[in-house]
Structures are given as C-alpha cells and as structure tokens.
Structure 1
Amino acid sequence: MNVIKMSKLTKARYLSSVLSLMIIISSIGIIFSNGFNWGLDFTGGVVTEVRLDSHIKATELSELLAQHSEQEVSVISAGESGRWVLRYSQVDAKSSTDIVSVLAPLSGNVEVLNSSIVGPQIGQELAEQGGLALLVAMLCVLGYLSFRFEWRLASGALLALFHDVVFVLAFFSLMQMEFNLTILAAVLAILGYSLNDSIVIADRIRELLIAKPKMAVDEVCSAAVKATFSRTMVTSGTTLITVAALWGMGGVPLEGFSIAMFLGIMIGTISSISVGTCLPELLKVKAEHYQLAPISQTP
C-alpha cells in the first residue's frame, strides 16, 4: 500500500513538473508579447495630494478626473477624511492651478497640499536597479545553495524561484495591472518565501540520500515531499490567510502587493514540490554526492 501511494506521488510530481515547464514557457511568451503597464515610479509622472470636502467619495473624484483627462488618473485615499493622493502621467499633467479648477465643481474647498514630479530618468534608474536587484538576489541564492546542497539540488531550487517570479510577472503583464515599486517589493519577497520551501525539501532529500543510499532517487524525492507536506501546507495556508486579509482590508494601495504575494505563495508551493524535486532527479543526483570522503591515515 505504501509503495502504491509513493508511486502515485511520483507520478503527480512528474505531471506537475510538466505543467510547470508549460507555465514557464507561456509566461515568458506573455511577458515578451504584452510587456508591462509601468507605474509612475518607472515612467515618471506627477503625484498631487489634495484636501476636499469630507463627504466626497473616490468614485465621484475618479469620474470627474476622467472627464478632464485622456489618461487614467489614480485616486488613492491618504487615510484622512477628505484627503486624496492623485497620480497621473506627466505628459497629461495639470498644474496645481488646473487641478483646483478641475475639482472646483465637486468641492467648494479645494486645497493642494503638495505636488511632486518623478522624472523619467529617475524611473529608468529604478527599473534598472530593480532588475539588477532580482539578478543579484538569484545569483546569491545560487551561490549559497551550491555550497549548501551541491549544484544539482541547487539548480532545482533556483529553477523553482525563476518559475515563481516569471509566473507573477506574466500575470501582471497579461492583466496589464500597474507595475510599480510595491509590486517589485512583492516579487523580492516571493523569492525569499519560495526559497524557504525549496530549502526544506532539499534538506530532507539530502538527509534521506545519506541515511538510505540504496533507495531509488525517485522514491527519495517522493518521500521527502511526503515528509514535509504537512509542514508546507500549514505554513502556506497560514500565510495565505494573512495575505488574503491584507488583500481584503488593505485597500487599493496594497491590492497589487497582496495579489502578487497571494499568487507567489500558491505557485511557490507547487514549484517547490514539482520543479524543486524533479530537476535534481533529472540531473542524476545520487547518494554518492553527499557521502563523506575517507581521510587518508598515511602521513
């Protein structure tokens, strides 16, 4: 009975790894074909904070601004009644005086608290630094895992990280949701979370290879997944509940971050089990790779 269950688990791992490979290929295609809807953090634009009458709602403000602007204006509550943050493209930007005149029909008391401009040069630097941060993070992860677990297990964990990041980026590319610094922070957080799952499973695989060197590699990987499955589900489940609460109660400013984290946690759990275990098996990881070499006693 145990053998049959292990065999089914192995088939499930193989099937999920094929699905993960299809996800990687399709995600890369979506990113290259659709591109990203870059936020003002990357493209440059204007951020204006205004104070209006407290009874005005966000929908009313958005509808009025849409009538006077060809581009979408982001309306975010500043946390205080009647206080709003308006974000719009610099190409379509209005001066403080224009904003006052545009909002005058909606509120008799329009006060511009502050207005700042993010230049496109700054946005380009942010995009370059963000991409560099992702690259450096993955290289550091590769170096640590290669030292800690040997390169075969390290390659599985690294491909799982790449799989998770590409999937989340492809989602935002497909849906054309605004990609800003908050989303970039979520992607970097996903790297750390997915790496945690992959390390736990890789460590269990290494322990089993050392303890049972004659056991088949596919059975070792399946046994490692089975041994860590309950821990993975509890960790992922509790984190998903927290992120879901943040998604539901955090409002518009945290919506993109919450969506990215929610998707990253779900796909990260799958990739750690599929990609993280199947690739080392494909690369012929063996118990010999973790056996201690005997020390010669001759002087």
Structure 2
Amino acid sequence: MKIHLAAAAVLSATMALPASAQDQTVEIQRPECVAPAQPGGGFDLTCRIAQRGLQDVVSNPIQVTFMPGGIGAVAINMFNTVRTDDPNAIVAFSSGSLLNMVTGKYGEWGAEDVKFTATAGTDYGAVIVRDDSRFQSLADLMSALKEDVSSVVLGAGGSVGSQDWMKAALLVRAEQLDPRQMRYVAFDGGGDAMSGLLGGSIDVYTGDVGEVLSQLEAGSVRVLAVMTKERLGEPFADIPTTNELGYPDADWAILRGYYMGKNVSDEAYNAWVKAFQDAYGTEKWKEVVEAQGLQVYDKAGEELHDDIMSRVETMRQIAQEAGLIQQ
C-alpha cells in the first residue's frame, strides 16, 4: 500500500541521516492547518498544537484557517474535490470525524479517502457544567436524569450519532435509560457548544476535557467527571472519573490528529510525516500538547494508518449494534 511504503521510506531515511542533517528544518512551502469548525473547540486546539509544536522543525510558519460546516463534512469534501492533492495543507480530525466517516455523515467520503498523517495527542470525554450549575456532582446529574431524563438539556458539538452525542448517550444508558428520550442540542463545533453552555441554552456539555482548560482556569465551568478509567495528571488530577464514581461503561477516549488529501504526492506526505516525527519526543512538543490539556500520543505514517483502520473497524461494529448503520 502506498501509504505504508511512504512511511517506511521516511523512517529509513531518518535513521540513515546523521544528527546534523536530522536537525535541519523540513521544507514545506506554505504550511497550513485547516480546522473544520468555527474558532474555539477541539479542531482549533488541534491546529494550534501543530502550529506551535512544529515551529522549530518546519521552515515556514503554519497558518491556521477555519472551514466550518457539518462537523468536518465541508472540509473532507473540499479535500476530495478541489484540494485533493494540496501539498501544503493538513486537516484536523478527531475520533468523532472517524465516527462520522463510518456512519455516512460525510456522504460518500470515508476513511480510505484521506491520508492520515500524524497525531496531536489524545483527549477524553468530560461532563461539563457552568460554575453556577445546580449540579454540584455527577451524582446530582445522574439523579436528575433518573428522575426525569427530559428535565436536563444536554448538548455538544455534534449531531445525533456523533461521538459527543454518544458521550451523552453513555451517561443516560448508565442509568438504564433510553438515549432517544434525552433532550440533546447539537452545535457546529465545541466552541459553539461552550457558548451555549455559558449562555444557558444547555445544562450540560458533553465535550472533551482538553477543550475546557482555559474556562476551568477562569472559573467559568466545572467538570463533574472525566470519562476515563483512570485519573489524568495535572492539571486535571483532582477531577474524578466516571469509573471511580460508579459508571465504568461511561468512558470515551478521543484521538486528535491530521490528514491530507488522498492524492498528495509521496514527497509532500513524507515531508509532513517527517516534520511530526522530528517533533515527537522533544520537550517542546510535550509541553505544547500538555498545555492544551491533551495526553501525549505520538504516531505518524504507517503506524498511524494501521491504528486508524483498527479504530474505524471497532466504531463500525458499535455503530451497527446501536442501529446507526445497516449491517
């Protein structure tokens, strides 16, 4: 497979070069990271990691542009039509993007229609409320849902069937309730969902913990629980997990990364893969990733492709079981 050969070539070339050559910056003429949503939220965060984390390994500054619409649908359509061989651009994606590919929310475009390039890190689902919320704990929220599931307005940056919807559905299902009965508001991206939470149009935002670092520091929101098995490190070490609070099945991990158009040249693809590989493992990369509230998770090229295909297959099975797609 071409993507496998390209990544292998990069790895071989990198190992063969002396240290002085490996220290040279990667030449990308007009590097751009496309965030397929409005400013704010996870896609913006993902592009900022590339912009700052690759600052010392690419020869030109990375520009961040925004392409909102359909939680990534507009972007993947653009990169399968007009910009399919663009050598300068990477597009931010998340596990939610993969789920949208699996469930057909991107129309005809799926995981085989892009070249997965590199990761930015991993994030985890979070149960987020305003600082003045009536829900002081996850127990308060779950009690309210159990008493009347329609009394709580949940929302996030994704439509029904998206990963953010699934986070809300997992919470509801944890109390043996029907997710189809919950009140859920879909926003076009995490930034819009956060505005909805702060503005009072929703009670609970089932977003990603990495997105809310600045709001946490400002004291405008509280995280009732992180949707993971084990506690995260700082700055989230004091936040309990759904697992420890008695809901072991209500966990959700989010991969964040970048893809390119499927017809980009091997040379262009290799250049971006090498840029990320050069940055991975450096103290600066680690600092940039953790500053955005993510956990370090470094994969690029062939290794990432295999990882993604495995995730996609797992998501397809879950989606079939949930009736989101036909078997």
Shorter-chain TM-score tier:
under 0.3
Look at both structures and tell me which one has the larger radius of gyration over its CA atoms.
Answer: 1
**With structure 1 as the length reference, what TM-score do the two structures score?**
0.23
Structure with more helix by fraction:
1
Higher strand share: 2
